[in-house]
Amino acid sequence: MRSIAIMSLIALVGCASEPASYKESKGKTGFSDKIVDQNLRVSTFQGNSATKKEKAQLYAKFHAIELCKEMNQPYTHILTIRDTSFQKEITQTNTYGPTYYYGVSPYYGRYGAYGAGVSMYGAYGPMNTQTTTDVKPVPQFDVYFECVPKAMDARMSFKSLSASDMKNLMQDVKGGVQVEEILPDSPNKNILQVGDIIIKGNGTRVEKVVELYQAHRNSNANQFTVEFFRNGKMKSANVKFLDVTEMVGTAQNEILKEACKEDGIKGVRDICK
């Protein structure tokens, strides 16, 4: 007896076989954006379980550039990128059977009243369903940016601290912003140090990195003064900013060059035509 399986049904529930494409989000995958404060915006791209993280980040940055171009602003000054990826349960259901045979039926064999059954076609075996649940990473990135004619930057990176991180320094049950890195070309190398914890920007209490950027944009003064803790002592300093317009323009062109090669973007989005 020869047996050939000619029917196999596989049903996938919630499992993505193709990476998420560059399109406007309708509540799930795709790009979206919102205004945080004045000229401060955030561009978000959420992929699916088949999307690579670097692709999701590229799409989030590309959408930010598109928005600035729509506003007729030449430069997209990316301030910070947050990896907001998450885990998602993926349920996969496999349904298989019955098995179709060609030749001698396994149930109506050579012995018995039904005879050999040679050249008969039929099916045997039950319809079986197997369900498995797996946890898959879903890439998502938030790109905070401003659309500007000229880009100025302090050339430092920061991270937000929770209220529990600050409990030995402050009694107001609030967080703070810590200097995480000072780049070699930063004009603040001799002003701030890695590990300094900023609690105010021009007199405004800040708990998150985004709030620090907001305080700077809401300031009408020519200088931006921060109050911070260093080795448990309160200090203050004026933060300086460097003209990074040329650098931003170069980075922006590299993002466009890479993104405009992608299906769904190449020859489709106006900025890539």
For residue 193, the domain's CATH number is 2.30.42.10
Phi, psi of 83 (to 5 degrees): -85, 105
Read off the amino acid at residue 18: E
User: Does residue 34 sit in the same domain as residue 140?
Assistant: yes
Q: What's the domain count of the chain?
A: 2
CB 181 within 8 A of CB 168: no
My answer on whether 219 and 230 are in the same domain is yes
Cα of 137 vs its chain's centroid, Å: 11
CA 4 to chain centre: 45
Q: Please list the pLDDT of the chain residue by residue as tens digits (273 residues).
A: 444 343 344 344 455 679 999 999 988 899 999 998 878 999 999 999 999 999 999 999 999 999 999 999 999 999 999 999 998 876 666 666 554 444 443 443 443 443 443 433 444 455 566 676 778 899 999 999 999 999 999 999 999 999 888 887 777 778 999 999 999 999 999 999 999 999 999 999 999 998 999 898 887 667 899 999 999 899 999 999 999 999 999 999 999 999 999 999 999 999 998
Structure tokens at 148: 């500007």
Q: Which residues pair with 238 in a beta bridge?
A: 225
- Domain residues for 146? 1-151+246-273
Examine the domain organization and report whether 139 and 38 are in the same domain.
yes
Question: H/E element holding 198?
Answer: strand 197-201
pTM equals 0.75
User: Looking at the structure, do residues 72 and 106 belong to the same domain, yes or no?
Assistant: yes
SS3 203: coil
